Structure 1
Amino acid sequence: MSVAEEKFSTKFEEAATKPKHRGAFYQEDATEKGMALVEAKFKDMKLYWLVDVVEGRVYSAKFFAYGGKVSVGICEQLCSMVKGLTIDEACSLLGADVERALRDDPEEPAVPESKKTAFGNVPELLKIIKEKYPEAQAVAQATASIKGSGAGKPKSTRELTMQEQAWLDLDEADQIKQVELVLDEKVRPALMSDGGNIQVLEVVDGERVLVQYQGACGSCGSSLGATLSFIERTLRQDVYSDLQVVPNM
């Protein structure tokens, strides 16, 4: 396979490596803003939209993606494109629309030919969004009615950000995928440059990540010091603020 076939556009690289919309919205946030929360998950992509129920327009959008660089880039661009559109307008977008928006040159594909199939997830996700919106709209309207009457005040037992709550709502398999994504982007390149690596064994109660050092990391004196601190700090910043990384020694 040639270098040209493996080329990603600059726009795609920016979307995939510096996403601004990664995260999640929680129902309490939708209630606070008087919006409908619509979620859709298909394969390794999950969308969270806040929609103004009066105009039916997308107020804001976030995502989680577990399939690596291509999935992140697609979801990031899609979230950018749907804001301000009506549900019908947003759900009429095609994978080809997202791919074209990621091109540097209108005549040059944004991703290698082998990666184009991932854009087929876009219409499937949007189909789910459109199917779920009426129910989400009804929930938002009912909640607004209750709030207006002064009844049913929402209860909160702890203060969590939307992204933290979304993390805790994931099952362990999806939590591991999210950890792996961050490790691939920000941790493994540094470890591998020194002949090491790291394996995720399990995530316990959403708060403890059990890992196994590999290669040079296993015998490195900093594996319980600077290296461990770097890994834990990175995961706390990008995944969940109370994560603990526990090496299996």
Structure 2
Amino acid sequence: MAKADILNESLWDAYSNKVTTLMNNPQHQGEIFDAEAEDRGNKLIVADFGAESCGDAVRLYWEINPKNDEIVNSKFKSFGCGTAIASSDVMTELCIGKTVQEAVKITNIDVELALRDDPETPAVPPQKMHCSVMAYDVIKKAAGLYMGVDAESFETEIIVCECARVSLGTLQEVIKLNDLKTVGEITDYTKAGGFCKSCIKPGGHEAMDYYLVDILADTRKEMDEEKMKASADAIAAGGGVFEDMTLVQQIKAVDAVIDDSVRQFLIMDGGNVEIIDIKKADENIDIYIRYLGNCDGCSSSATGTLYAIESTLQEKLSSKIRVLPI
């Protein structure tokens, strides 16, 4: 078998049977005309949307019963690739029988899930997901035309991942709640960045206003600032002096300083550190730590790394601090 044939076969294997069937045999492709809709006492809405990333476009027809806002019939015309045809056909099917208010809640993920042969296997390869995400936008346009409002009025949040319909607020909240540190973890928790990947970083299928790499960095910075503030608050609560804090306050203050100034460098080398105990000893405050990962047994853990941790804690908390690895 020629190399080109192997590649083509592999590409086709990445499409679900539903997608390949609807590419060649769409069920709702066609037009609805004003005259026939009027004869049935209904209103016709025609909305167009084009995807700048690939040049695909879709025209959506809604025949709506004005008495109850139900979409009694729907068709589409697609000007693009086979994936765009298949996804437009499923989008149209999902609209039929719903009210306009219900249809506007249909997401691109709903369309992609409806195209799957089984719930766990994506319907299209990631590089073609951007051809399957026109549904939400053209539905918004159709609903806006019918209701006499701007299509953007249906969007109340900043959407970062168009494929999975994940908002900026959701991403920030999930990162904070679960202490996420990588884009991969964000994708695991939210599905953002798991499809066309345009929202991960610049240079994808299309330019975005927000990217996951920046959101992660900004949110992690905000989290670090909040930890430092908590450390300052803990010091204030203890009378402004590290020595006067309770043990719990001291541990929180030490952890906050290490998180802000030390831990990221240890993690970069595959290591980490944890606070085991804090004890007063004559004129000193001894902080017992345990090295983790690559730091455990590293020669620098008893010299340079130890000095960096101790000097940072002395500078930010108390000159009486000694750091003792165990």
TM-score (norm 2): 0.40
Q: State whether structure 2 residue 32 is matched by structure 1 residue 25.
A: yes
Partner residue of 1:161?
Answer: none
1:71 aligns with 2:78: no
Q: Which has the higher contact order (CA 8 A, sep 6+)?
A: 1
Give the aligned partner of residue 132 of structure 1: 145
Conserved in 2, the CA contact under 8 Å of 1:58 and 1:87? yes
Amino acid at match of 2:24: T
Q: Select 2:128's aligned residue among 103, 108, 115.
A: 115
Amino acid at match of 1:25: I
- Among 10, 23, 47, the residue aligned to 1:16: 23
User: Where do 1:199-238 residues align within 5 Å?
Assistant: none
2:112 paired with 1:91: no
Structure 1 residue ranges without an equivalent (≥5) = 136-249
Q: Helix, strand or coil for the counterpart of 1:85?
A: coil
Trace 1:53-202 onto structure 2 (pairs within 5 A). 53-134=66-147
Partner of 2:277: none
Q: What's the CA shift for 1:29?
A: 1.1
Report runs of 4+ in structure 1 exceeding 3 Å deviation.
1-6
Shifted more, 1-10 versus 68-77: the winner is 1-10
Q: CA RMSD in A?
A: 1.8
Q: How many residues align?
A: 136
43-52 or 126-135: which moved more? 126-135
Per the TM alignment, residue 5 of structure 1 is displaced from its structure 2 partner at its CA by 5.5
CA, structure 1 residues 5+107, in 2 after alignment: closer, same or farther (shift >3 Å)? farther
> How far, CA to CA, are the matches of 2:115 and 2:18 in structure 1?
5
Cα deviation, 1:15-48, whole Å, max 9, x if unaligned, reads 2211121111111111101111011101110001
Q: Distance in 1 between matches of 2:75 and 2:146?
A: 16
CA deviation after TM superposition for structure 1 residue 4, in Å: 5.0
Match of 2:47 in 1: 40
1:124 maps to a residue whose letter is D
Partners of 1:126 and 1:79 in 2: how far apart? 9
Deviation at 1:119, TM superposition (A): 2.4
Per-residue CA distance 1:126-175 (angstroms, 9 max, x = gap): 1101110135xxxxxxxxxxxxxxxxxxxxxxxxxxxxxxxxxxxxxxxx
Instruction: Encode CA deviations 1:61-100: one digit per residue, 9 max, x unaligned.
Output: 0111010201110111111111111111111101110000
Could you say what secondary structure the match of 1:38 adopts? strand
Structure 2: which amino acid aligns with 1:112? P
CA distance in 2, matches of 1:120, 1:76: 12
